[in-house]
A and B are shown apart, each in its own frame.
Chain A
Amino acid sequence: MNGFLVTHAPALLIMLPLIGAFAAPFIGKVSPKVRSAWVILIMTLTTLTALLLASDVFMYGTRIYVFGAAAPDLAVPLDSGGIPIRIIFTVDAMSALMQVIGAVCGFAVLLYSLSADRIHSGLESFYTLFLLMIAGIMGMVSTGDLFNFFVFLEILSIASAGLIAYRIDGGLAVEAALKYFVLSTIGAMVILIAIGIYYGEYNALNIALIASRMQFTLLDQIALVLIITALAMKCGSVPMHFWTPDAYSMAPSSVTAMLVVASQASLYGLFRVVFTLYNVTLNAMTVGWIIIILGVLSMVVGVTMAIPQKNVKRLMAYHAISQTGYMLLGVGVGLAVLGNQPLMDSFGYIAMEGGIFHIINHAMYKGLLFLTAGAIFFRIGTYNLNKMGGLGHSMKYTMIFFIIGALAIAGIPPFNGFASKLMIYESVFAFNPVLAIIAMVVSILTLASFVKVFHSIFMGPKLPGYETVQEAPVPMLIGMGVLATIVIAFGLFPQAVVDGLIAPAAHALADQSGYIAAVLGGA
């Protein structure tokens, strides 16, 4: 039974949220309580499936799932002449890690959302779109087929755009969603052109097969540029970041936390293309430096734009851009020395591990911070920092969760942000000291900015008008508590997490031949 579940887990991860999504409106007809129970059930099952699959992948290596084949692991049909023609899901350690991030964050955010979004109307479509986002994220990170990647990217974009516009808010939310959606549609089309180029050259859509035939001709270079541009835009890296603050600040907070995970999924796509599809065939130094420069720009521009913001969610959104820069920096350094085994061993892998560790940490603490912002909005109805103050008296738990998130994002021990940032500093210093110094300065600015925010929200005397403010409802606190627990646990035992989860993921990402062998056999 267990074996059967694990074998079909990659398909279940897409199937469960999809069934849940489209059944939710009908089940909601019975009563809103039943609908809440239903979405919780679906999300619990999805999370359990993701954890089960991840434990198997981390123990026994890459799993593949071939849709419509005689056997789920029969990637290459016997009569096809060695070409995998079916849609394949390839779940290696990196994909499994991303699935766990998506599922755990989704679960915590859902718990929060059931209580936070209760005040809105039209909730049946809200949870349909929410579960579609989960399905899109799961699909993007597990697929081994480029066109399939595009399809899930579009599912994710459409669901996200719907959710960003959800509160309408006198048209403001729709304006933000419009900006996001126009950009992501054009981005997706650009990705589709790149996919078409690969198909025209290699007659294949399967990532492993294209990787094994990769020539790095001029056309491949064009395709690489197109894909990097589009995915860097989707993950909110500078200079294509302008949709991020609008979309993040106008979406309901629960959705913003999921948008963070969604942008990590795009980041995963970027890394997958660079490392698995191209790997050493590309000019690792040049492309690595491009990604490093994108990362440094994102870090610096993000944090400097964040400091003057008045809207707490806009401020956090700029910090999200800045933190994405750390991931790009870490993994970019890993890419720059790819193929040079001694350098790779001395700091390349650590840089990649730091970058990937930062992805999971960022999803947790940034999600937590957006949820606390949402809890504050839930009680006082504004995001404007100038109108807040003295909330520490009445919202003690929210304040504690905010402190945990703020210290984690600033990289203060013993929280998880410190663990990953330290890995990035160390390895990047070995690669180029200037980059490490920039990264540290950005961290200090982040801390300064959050100290200011903390002071203006929670400190001071109770403001008139807020005397009756209460603590956030318990389900919201539980949702935040789940994320806060992970933040602290990862901060206290970073070595265990790095050895158990992050290092296998980093090695799986760098190991192109292993990925190809898992799909095509041999090696």
Chain B
Amino acid sequence: MTQPFLSIRNIRKTFGAVVAVHDVTVDIPKGEFLTFLGPSGSGKSTTLYAIAGFQDPSSGDVLLQGSSLLSVPSHKRNIGMVFQRYTLFPHLTVAENVAFPLRVRRRPDKEVKRKVDDMLALVRLEGFADRRPGALSGGQQQRVALARALAYDPPILLMDEPLSALDKKLREEIQAEIRRIHRETGVTILYVTHDQEEALHLSDRIALFKEGRIEQIGSGEDLYLRPATDFVAGFIGNSNFLPAECLETAHGSATIRLADGSVVSGVKANHSLSRGQKARLMVRPEAFRLTPGASCAELAVEFIDTAFFGERRRVVARTAAGQEIDIRPTSDAADGHGGIASRSRQVFFDPAAAFLFPA
């Protein structure tokens, strides 16, 4: 059996009576970009801190290439880390910041200089070597922090919401940089964020945290197309949850009745549901169509508001049962329907692209 590169085994962390992390177990292959995604307080940062050594887990273990990290003090773990806050050393220049981890390792001057140049080239800040952190923008500071964290070729790089202090445009720019740097260096990255778009954009795999546990782990596509629970479905991508009642289930497919009385058959149901059980049907806003198609289910709605968002239009509609839902048809499909607010009509969706969860 091959040994996993980094193995997080049954990590549990309690603060008094509060359990912050419950039994988290993940194996991470070398070179993977794994994101811990979840709302605040879901235990994702606590798990990361346990790996960095800032918080000792109450139980469980972290193994790097088979040997435990927990007995090693933080400064000897040889891990790279980029923080949410700006953590450049204010009294040192950019070059001295990047050199710091090499200086504390007593590396020869020549090697330090070469490595600093390489790292500044990697994050494309060659001209900034002699600046002080105070003279840099937030995005530049985080790039220097990234260069500093990679200067000593750590086997693992931890990133704790490094972009959350930046504005949206800059965030996307640096996400692209991080992807490139991951590709070029091949370093194993554990990334923490609460931003699902960021997670989808960056990661090979995403571990979605909920209340201290991993709710589902898989590629972004897995989580989006095959959500294991309603929490995953609600957290990744946009979603509408329609209350429903289960009429019949067979072979992972169900027939249900929606709140307005219409019956839909052939919806995906991974959970065992008994006849008559209350359920929730999740339909993505972009799964709704304005024109009927083969084997499509239909839903009577009233358009309340429509807005144009470039490639898609966003429609707020009300079902016959009085629930407001979000519909995002492509703009060309909605062409000519833009100004029809407050009109009753049918919308259509493929039941096989909808998911049934227990209520």
Q: Do A and B bind each other?
A: no
Q: B residues near A, CB below 8 A?
A: none
Q: A residues near B, CB below 8 A?
A: none
